[in-house]
Structure 1
Amino acid sequence: MTSHREIKKHLRKEALGRRDALDQFWRIEASLEMAETARDNISVEPGMIVSGFWPMRSEVDVRPMMFALREHGARLCLPAILDKHTIVFRELVRGAPLVDMGFGTVGPHEEAEVLDPDVMLVPLAAFDGRGHRIGYGAGYYDRAIARLHDAGKHPKLIGIAFDCQEVERVPDENHDVIIPEILTESGLRRFAPEL
């Protein structure tokens, strides 16, 4: 019998293959359209903290989206990898230095303020129509979200992906974090909580 881990690995590989095959110029246009959708559909109040991510490989480029939310007064932060188990979110300030975080991504320098996001733009490899996601396999976001929940904080989670990353069904596991909203080039989809 195939394990959940093996199924997820297979689904991840297929979804990322489809994403990698997208035309790079189309991805740029789609990312810009998604920024407009985020600006019009994700409500942020001045001072709210929004975490994004620096795009790697063929990911949606969320930088225009983050900057659109900053126009509404959001403070921005990016994940910073502390070790092979932990990420924190450091404030992204215009003009401040960015440093290599590994995995082809960058983040704010260690002197940047560590913030707890109110809204998290969550990267993912694949997702299904129930809001279940497959990450990249390291579990950074699952642990970061669990840590925030343990501290009594419940940020709004919005998965960021292209439509081609949707799969029929992600295998359920106890540690999984359900993402109630996913933003793709087709718009912002909200998933009803499962009973």
Structure 2
Amino acid sequence: MKAAKAALREASLMRRDALTAEMRHAFSKEIAAHGEAAIAFSPGTIIAAFLPIRSEVDLQPLMHRLSERGAHLCLPVVLDRQTICFRQWQPGTDLVSTGFGTRGPGPDAAVVDPDILLVPLSAFDSRGNRIGYGAGHYDRAIARLHEKGCNPTLIGIAFDCQEVANVPHEPHDVALHAILTESGYKNFKT
């Protein structure tokens, strides 16, 4: 199963990498518009987002819109090779290098448990199964949240070109509640 996931990951990331910077920028703006309209929450809800690495979706336009609607935002921070946490962040706050090629809030920012988790991924299918980047950071973070009694809404963030016919899944894999791409927002769980 690892080999099948690795092959799907590689092919999907190659398609994503083939998008021009202009396409990624335009699609990220479309994702922000769809996400603003579709993601329901009350003011004060904690939403975990992420800043783009490599050719990922740029969530900054969506993050600003969610913040304007009253969301409290947080970003992932790599603590070690196995662990990420989510630190509180507001647009305009300074960021520091946080590992894995990412930037995020510094150690003075509060660690929080998100109510909604915007999840980066390399591939997804029409049933809400996802393939991450292979390090398992989000799988472990989601498992820790569940162990604490938290049950965040999991929304995958991707470009349409990252969809595959079937993601092989294992018992520890947690399916997404929804996916957000440039063509819209799709709920998997009702």
TM-score higher than 0.5: yes
Q: Is the 8 A contact 1:77 1:90 kept in 2?
A: yes
Note if 1:67 corresponds to 2:71: no
Give me the CA root mean square deviation: 1.1
Match of 1:162 in 2: 159
**Contact 2:30 2:183 (C-alpha < 8 Å) held by counterparts:** no
Question: C-alpha displacement at 1:94, in angstroms?
Answer: 3.8
Deviation at 1:86, TM superposition (A): 0.6
1:17 is aligned to 14
From 111, 124, 127, the counterpart of 2:124: 127
Letter in 2 for 1:167: V
Q: What's the secondary structure of 2:31's corresponding residue?
A: helix
Q: CA deviation at 1:95?
A: 4.0
Query: Aligned to 1:138, which of 121, 135, 139?
Result: 135
Deviating runs (4+, > 6 A) in structure 1?
none
Distance across 1 between alignment mates of 2:97 and 2:108? 14
1:179 maps onto 2:176 in alignment? yes
Q: Distance in 1 between matches of 2:92 and 2:58?
A: 19
How does 1:45-124 map onto structure 2 within 5 Å?
Answer: 45-124=42-121
Helix, strand or coil for the counterpart of 1:114?
Answer: coil
Query: Residue deviations 1:110-167, cap 9 Å, x none?
Result: 1101111011100000001110000000101011111111111101110000010011
Q: How high is the TM-score relative to the length of structure 2?
A: 0.97
- Quote the Cα distance in structure 1 between the aligned partners of 2:150 and 2:133: 24
The residue that corresponds to 2:5 in the other structure is: 8
Distance in 2, matches of 1:28 and 1:37, equals 15
| Distance in structure 1 (CA, Å) of the matches to 2:99 and 2:181 | 26
> 2:189, 2:64 → 1: CA distance?
29
Q: More displaced, 13-22 or 86-95?
A: 86-95
Count of residue pairs the alignment pairs up: 190
Deviations 1:78-101 (A, max 9, x none): 001111111100011344331112
- What secondary structure sits across from 2:53 in the alignment? coil
| Alpha-carbon separation, structure 1, partners of 2:46 and 2:149 | 16
Unaligned runs of 5+ in 1: none
Instruction: Give the partner amino acid of 2:54.
Output: R
Give the fraction of aligned pairs with identical amino acids, expressed as a percent. 55
Distance 2:8 2:189 in 1: 23
Give the partner amino acid of 1:79.
P
